[in-house]
Amino acid sequence: PLRLPAEYHAEPDAHTGDGPITAAGITSPQRDDNEASSLRTTLGNGGAAIRLRTGDGPIEVTRKSD
């Protein structure tokens, strides 16, 4: 799992070939074509890209609340 602090500024981009993506503590995650296997969002003011990829398995992104 990827765990991020509450005040972190970034642009996560996650995709999995076969598995779900869960996002906790992230408001307004955008899913490509409403698919559970892709997710993009902007945290805070945006910033560095965080690219997460897996061919077979889940991805979990958690952002601590304030």
pLDDT for res 11: 92
Q: Tokens for 49?
A: 């890209």
Give the chain's residues under pLDDT 70. 28, 32-35, 66
| Angstrom distance (rounded) from CA 63 to CA 9 | 11
The alpha carbon of 28 is separated from its chain's Cα centroid by a whole number of angstroms, namely: 11
pTM metric for this prediction:
0.79
pLDDT for res 30: 73
Q: Tokens for 64?
A: 């601590």
